[in-house]
Structure 1
Amino acid sequence: MKIEKAVYRPAILPEHRGNPLIEALPTKYTDEELVDRLSFYPSHSFDETQLDPFERVEYLTRLKDLRQPLPIYLDCFRAVEMAIKEGYSVKNPLSPTTMNYLHYPIDRRPNIEPRTGYFKPKGCGITVIGESGVGKTCMLEQILGCFPDTIEHSQYKKHSLPLRQVVWIKVDCPDDSSVRALCHKILSELDSKLGFEPTKRAGTIPLLLDQIEARIKSSFLGILVIDEMQNLNLAKTGGADRLLGFIHNLVNNLGIPILFCANPPFNQLLSRTLKAARRAESNGYFDVVLMENDSVWSLFIEELWELQWTNVRTPLTGELNDKLYELSVGNMDLAVRIFREAQRYIIGCVDERITGELLEHAASIAIKASKTVTDEIRRERSITTLKRKLNTTLLLARADMAHIQQKELVAVEGVSQSIPGDLSRPHHPEFADALTILQTADDLFERIDNPDLVQHAAAEEKPLELLRQEGVFCEHPLKVFA
């Protein structure tokens, strides 16, 4: 936990100036400065590679500390930074509006409006989605680490300001989708950040909600990060909806920015209602995916490959790069584990060079539990590649056939020509391109906004009218697609 004394710096936006909560935040970093803050490259020297094998093996633990920021890290940081400032912009502790906000719940505030107006929340939502192991949590920890945990204020200009400002807290979503359990976690984290003794929990849910509201307000919480949101128990009747309702209340009534971090099932839950999806992604939606074997992967693998504690350095070749990518399927965590296991296995041998065969052997040991998943990902990628090759071949074959038939068909006066049918050619070329795209699409089901639309239309008195409104009933296709 980092409690820092407030150091005030002029805010960039004029409307933020004079707000100690914003002026106490770190100076805005340039992209270059941000990369330095988000990265960590473990130390490594030639002398370490000349130590005894049993000592060199211990140095391999440094591989876990490698932090190579990717482009999405910068975008996510900017979204978090903007959300914190936006939330604080309406909570100036020197304003009568904020005093009214601190002392009265939204539904029980007096009718006398402060001279600066009633509090108008500016909370927002950020969502980070990605498969397990792609580095979501690691990315968030690096981003949040750029901000202080708590800022202690005492004097702002000529104003006494005895308060502690909690910039961020991070909690895990409870497995049972319990509002009570989430409240307890939030209270515990706030107590820890503020340096308080554990707060005695209220006995009933209504009192607990009042308690959590008062504590969040008084601590001037900047952003609430909730990890493992895929834990929402959809099977438990109303559990997920109640918890999401509680979280959205924090955004709507208290103006607290929320960041959700979850595995892919969570985005399906959000998409059930436009309201939930809109709130959750109002300040950014980040899909953290497995890396492609491109320049971003090269950026990471070149830094990883530098960390060799073998007694002979193995240069990174295209073959080794591709092999490690294939084995790890672009997952940074798996790549580090395979590379570490390869060195652990070979250190102390007569020949300590790293080869493709060694990486394969290391993968069979280091990622046994992940083998089923990685094999499935490789299989899906192979099928996608084959689809693309097959479609390209078919299109070329059809073009060649059409060209040959055009040459062979010669008009002879007085002789009727019979044009043979060609089943390989589209009978309606005006639809061909759109249908080809759909045939090869990997996200076909995601493109269908409402898979039950036809059933819904069948239940209507005027089914065609509903289909027209949804834009899926085309009365004049030849005019539209010609």
Structure 2
Amino acid sequence: MRIEKARYSPSILPEHRGNPLIEALPVKLPDEDLIDELRFYPECSHEERGKDAFERVEYLSRLKDLRQPQLVHLDVFRAVERALKEGYSAKNPHSPTTMNYLHYSLDERPEIEPRTGFFKPKGSGITVIGESGVGKTCMLDQVLGYFPDVIVHEKSSVGLLPLRQVVWLKVDCPGDSTIKGLCLRILEELDRKLGLEPTTPRSTIALLVSQIEAKIKASFLGILVIDEMQNLNLAKAGGAERLLGFLHNLVNNLGIPLLFCANPPFDELLSKSLKSARRAESGGYFDVNLLGQRNGEWELFVEELWELQWTNVVTPLTEALSNKLYELSVGNMDLAVRTFREAQQVIIGSLDERLTEEVLEKGASIAIRASKSARDELAHDQKLNLLKRKKKVKAEHPGETKANPSKKAAVAVNKGKLVQIPGDLSRPHHPEFADILTTLQHTDDLYEQIPDPDLIQRASEEDDPLGPLREAGVLCEDPLKAFA
């Protein structure tokens, strides 16, 4: 949790100036600088590749920390940034309007209007939809992580202002879709961010909702993020509608921006109600899809992923390897990372630590089990779409090929174990021949590996050609005995 003391910067919009809640937020960055803030590339050095196999396997855990922003990351970030400022624009702590808002609920406020007017909420709804594993939660963690959790105000440009501003709050939707379950999670998370002892929840739903609203007001919550919203589909009849109604009341009464994050069934639930759909997308609606090969997203991701090799040799990324990993993961970043990790784990410490298509298939067979049926269904749909496009591509670019021959990766000298990869005929599959075959297969000069290159020719000129071969020790007449 990041708690920072307020540092104020002048707002871009004149109407936001003098509002400490907005001026304490991180300054707006241009896209090129923002991308640097959102990306993260784990370290992978030549020295680490030279360590023992049992140590190099440990480094594979870094793969899950890779963060490669896509275009949707920028769009979601700008939506969250905009929602924060719009929500806070109606809650300047120095305004009589905000004082009235803090002290009275909408139903209980006095008829005497403050000189700056009654509070008018400016909350909005943002919805992020995507299949499991496409990186929605990681993206939200990246976006929200740019903002501090809590900003501590001691004084502002116009006077003293002792308060703690909770910029964002992220909770999971309860599986039973009850308002009480969500309220308890919000209450617990607010207490944690404010550094308070756990608050005893009120006994009834009505009192609990009032308790939550009061705490949200006092903490100047900027945006409420609710993940796993697809849990609503598992609720008993009526639960989803009541919970959505409660959440939208937070927008209407308190002006709290909401961000829903969910798997695709949630969009069907929203579409059933025009009112809910309109509110949920008022601040932006974003589909987070599988990475596409044709739009450059996959290439951007796999190039960074492929750099993270802790094998004792570096296998260059080829078009064939990229296509194979895409085929195995169907463009799902989580599946791709897991497949790549398991593939390396299989061969690290072996005689041959090259990454091949067969090695990637072996990694996928280990990493993708429970999700295999869903993966295969997505792959089937992708192939159907690909077949539909092929005629058009062929007609527009006749004779064009994208072949990109690659250099054969060298194999480091390594006395390791024999790892058999089914289907990979570039590797030895018999332990009795493994060492010498690996050496022969990847040597630069085969001639240097032959002690007596003229032996066969000389033997052919003898009356008993097998005699010289026996003397040289290259004739094996009883292999069962020799290799028993």
Shorter chain as denominator, the TM-score bin is 0.7 to 0.9
- Partner residue of 1:46? 46
Secondary structure in structure 2 of the residue aligned to 1:309: coil
Q: Which moved more, 1:225-234 or 1:314-323?
A: 225-234
Q: Which moved more, 1:314-323 or 1:153-162?
A: 153-162
Return the alpha-carbon distance in structure 2 between the equivalents of residues 385 and 332 of structure 1. Answer: 20
Check whether the contact 1:175–1:233 (CA below 8 A) recurs between aligned residues. Answer: no
- Partner residue of 1:18? 18
Return the alpha-carbon distance in structure 1 between the equivalents of residues 316 and 3 of structure 2. Answer: 45
- Partner residue of 2:247? 247
- Partner residue of 1:300? 301
- Partner residue of 2:104? 104
Check whether the contact 1:229–1:263 (CA below 8 A) recurs between aligned residues. Answer: yes
Shift of 1:383: 2.5
Shift of 1:190: 0.6
Check whether the contact 1:21–1:165 (CA below 8 A) recurs between aligned residues. Answer: yes
Q: Name the amino acid aligned to 1:123.
A: G
Aligned residues: 393
Q: Could you list the per-position Cα deviations for residues 169-216 of structure 1 after superposition, in whole angstroms to 9, with x for gaps in the alignment?
A: 000000001000100100111101111110110001111111011000
- Partner residue of 2:436? none
Check whether the contact 2:321–2:357 (CA below 8 A) recurs between aligned residues. Answer: yes
Return the alpha-carbon distance in structure 1 between the equivalents of residues 59 and 393 of structure 2. Answer: 49
- Partner residue of 1:324? 325
**Residues 110, 288 of structure 1: CA spacing in aligned structure 2 closer, same or farther, 3 A cutoff?**
same
* Rg (Cα) greater in structure: 2
Q: Name the amino acid aligned to 2:96.
A: P
Shift of 1:378: 1.3
Shift of 1:389: 5.7
- Partner residue of 1:314? 315
Q: Which stretches of structure 1, 4 residues or more, deviate above 6 A after TM superposition? A: 390-393
Q: Name the amino acid aligned to 2:232.
A: L
| Cα root mean square deviation, aligned | 1.4
1:228 aligns with 2:219: no
Q: Name the amino acid aligned to 2:16.
A: H
Check whether the contact 2:342–2:367 (CA below 8 A) recurs between aligned residues. Answer: yes
**In the TM superposition, what are the counterparts of 1:390-401 in structure 2 within 5 Å?**
none
**Residues 134, 44 of structure 1: CA spacing in aligned structure 2 closer, same or farther, 3 A cutoff?**
same
**In the TM superposition, what are the counterparts of 1:333-482 in structure 2 within 5 Å?**
333-388=334-389
Shift of 1:391: 9.8
Structure 2 unaligned runs (5+)?
395-484
Check whether the contact 1:176–1:233 (CA below 8 A) recurs between aligned residues. Answer: no
Shift of 1:384: 2.8
Check whether the contact 2:125–2:257 (CA below 8 A) recurs between aligned residues. Answer: yes
- Partner residue of 1:203? 203
Return the alpha-carbon distance in structure 2 between the equivalents of residues 311 and 59 of structure 1. Answer: 13
1:217 aligns with 2:223: no
Return the alpha-carbon distance in structure 2 between the equivalents of residues 245 and 374 of structure 1. Answer: 35
Check whether the contact 2:96–2:114 (CA below 8 A) recurs between aligned residues. Answer: yes
Shift of 1:292: 1.1
Q: Name the amino acid aligned to 2:113.
A: E
- Partner residue of 1:194? 194
Query: Identity across aligned pairs (percent)?
Result: 70
Return the alpha-carbon distance in structure 1 between the equivalents of residues 235 and 122 of structure 2. Answer: 33
Return the alpha-carbon distance in structure 1 between the equivalents of residues 140 and 298 of structure 2. Answer: 20
- Partner residue of 2:175? 175
1:284 aligns with 2:284: yes
Return the alpha-carbon distance in structure 2 between the equivalents of residues 119 and 172 of structure 1. Answer: 29
Q: Could you list the per-position Cα deviations for residues 366-406 of structure 1 after superposition, in whole angstroms to 9, with x for gaps in the alignment?
A: 1111111111111122223344568999xxxxxxxxxxxxx
Return the alpha-carbon distance in structure 1 between the equivalents of residues 286 and 180 of structure 2. Answer: 29
Return the alpha-carbon distance in structure 2 between the equivalents of residues 205 and 47 of structure 1. Answer: 59
**Residues 275, 234 of structure 1: CA spacing in aligned structure 2 closer, same or farther, 3 A cutoff?**
farther
Secondary structure in structure 1 of the residue aligned to 2:241: helix
Return the alpha-carbon distance in structure 2 between the equivalents of residues 233 and 43 of structure 1. Answer: 41
Q: Name the amino acid aligned to 2:193.
A: K
Q: Name the amino acid aligned to 2:183.
A: C
1:114 aligns with 2:114: yes
Return the alpha-carbon distance in structure 1 between the equivalents of residues 268 and 136 of structure 2. Answer: 18
Shift of 1:270: 0.4
Shift of 1:237: 2.1
TM-score (norm 1): 0.80
- Partner residue of 1:161? 161
